[in-house]
Amino acid sequence: MHYIKLGNSGLDVSPIAIGAMTYGEPDRGHPVWSLAEEQSRPLIRHALEAGINFFDTANMYSLGSSEEILGRALKDYADRDDVVITTKIRHTMRPGPNGRGLSRKAIMTEIDHSLRRLGTDHVDVYMIHRLDNATPLEETLEALHDVVKAGKARYLGASSMRAFEFSKALHLQKANNWARFITMQDHYNLLAREEEREMLPLCADEGVGTMVWSPLARGRLARPWKTETDRSVSDPFAGMLYTELTADSDRAIIDTVGEIAEARGVTRAQIALAWLHHHPVVAAPLVGASTTSQIDDAVASLDIRLTDDEISRLERPYTPRHDLQGISDEAELERIKARIPGFGLSV
């Protein structure tokens, strides 16, 4: 394993990150596909043995169970100083006032809860999971700065918003001498390339490294067209991300991934991840591995160098899609969805 700097920071990370949403007690999260602690621990250990030092979770994943499982496993299998832990805040953790969002109160409360569950005195990157339009951005950014200055987080990150919103946040951080976001966690893969328009160029210009969620398009890029899994048939969120509106181009891309994988004698996942690695602004895809072979595929993808012709074949069929992941206002999201014909049909 080789290590890279995350954006313009001095933080060394593996170019593969483990997305820990998969790890969480099923009765507290996703009963069909989340893995209990006894199933999760061998996977976390396997990732560490492969040289992966980058682990991402969130307070909302299985209502804190993911943080608990990840924290105990890393304590048992790794030196805390060698691993990079990120966690996120924004979504609902409990009913009633102040149980969600990015107010100063919520941030100061939730960072302490996350540290307790993770069993550590700091996280390496503390991230906002989405924007909170009910809280002034300045309040959020100053509170995050204070979390860093208190030693509870080493760096800050953000996830899925519009490029102009991220640019505004970076400007406010610089103008007020607040701790700056060093990473953006966004939705990007061969079937969803809308971030190439504005967000990825912005991150490249600002020295922000990206962490990619759903790098395999909820597994679609790792299997033949229309192949279903237990997770795919029980994942309503996928219907928002991948609709019938782009089914023809999606199928062409997925088929091409399969052709290139077969010609090279590797898996589809390795090809789809290798395509991400050739983009300099992509620091690490987030791999939600539920088997050791998926971790091995992710690591093996680092050794694949796609040719210009292969990249062209993979990218040529792409059809622009409606990407709604940067929209944090629920009412606005519903209005936009209502204007999209056929929205919500799952691929």
**Active-site positions?**
61
CA 30 to CA 21: how far, in whole Å?
9
| H or E element that contains 299 | helix 292-300
- Given a contact cutoff of 8 angstroms between Cβ atoms, the answer to whether 236 and 209 are in contact is no
- Cα distances from 78 to residues 13, 116, 124, 287, 293, in angstroms, run 15, 18, 15, 19, 21
Structure tokens at 165: 């919103």
Strand partners, 87: 126
CA 347 to CA 335: how far, in whole Å?
22
- Cα distances from 195 to residues 25, 60, 322, 324, in angstroms, run 33, 25, 11, 11
Residue 186 three-state SS:
strand
Give every CB contact of residue 117 below 8 A, 6+ residues apart in sequence.
Answer: 59, 64, 67, 68, 71
Structure tokens at 74: 């890393």
- Given a contact cutoff of 8 angstroms between Cβ atoms, the answer to whether 73 and 49 are in contact is no
